Structure 1
């Protein structure tokens, strides 16, 4: 089962499933916004462990800036896309569950009058 480990609103989500880490990076190009999911490779996992969230901020920015979802893109990440895969479906389900949990926690924190 895939779960969300961490997120940076409007930037990225870090997910995990069976010991594998995934980054879902927000990309925005003109009028098009999309999420770009990729499995972190060994080097990226090592950098994440060494640098933490700052590394994910940088990686998500590099993914966004390279425009992997844009027609004709030469992004080095394009070939690692998990769009239209079972991983994308499981990531979407995990993100929906995570967002629902966040909403429920926020609602519980509101004062009742």
Structure 2
């Protein structure tokens, strides 16, 4: 896994085995959490077309939909994969920051 891009305090975009993994920093009231999901074909096409602007829009849509809430009807809810990839993502972020600091 490797970091491709980030929007500070908002999201990270990772590459994992040829797939794009999107990690959004969400918050609702006093609760903060990470929501991670793989981008689907439509989202990848929009990312290629609009770039970071699209990822900012998607991050806002995910955060607004409150996908971890029990009563949420978020269309992203079933795509949650943070538990499976959190350790690898933290290692990738550490490497990304080490390389950024050395430049």
Q: Partner of 2:86 in structure 1? A: 88
Compared with structure 1, are the counterparts of its residues 17 and 83 closer, same or farther at alpha carbon in structure 2 (3 Å cutoff)? closer
In structure 2, distance between residues paired with 1:35 and 1:99: 19
Shift of 1:73: 1.2
| Distance in 1 of aligned mates of 2:73 and 2:15 | 27
How many equivalent pairs are there? Answer: 103
1:45-68 CA distance string (max 9 Å, x none): 111000000000000000000001
Are residues 1:19 and 2:18 paired? yes
Q: Unpaired segments of 5 or more residues in structure 2?
A: none
> Between Structure 1 and Structure 2, whose CA radius of gyration is higher?
1
**TM-score, normalising length from structure 1?**
0.83
Aligned CA-pair RMSD:
1.5
TM-score, with structure 2 as normaliser: 0.90
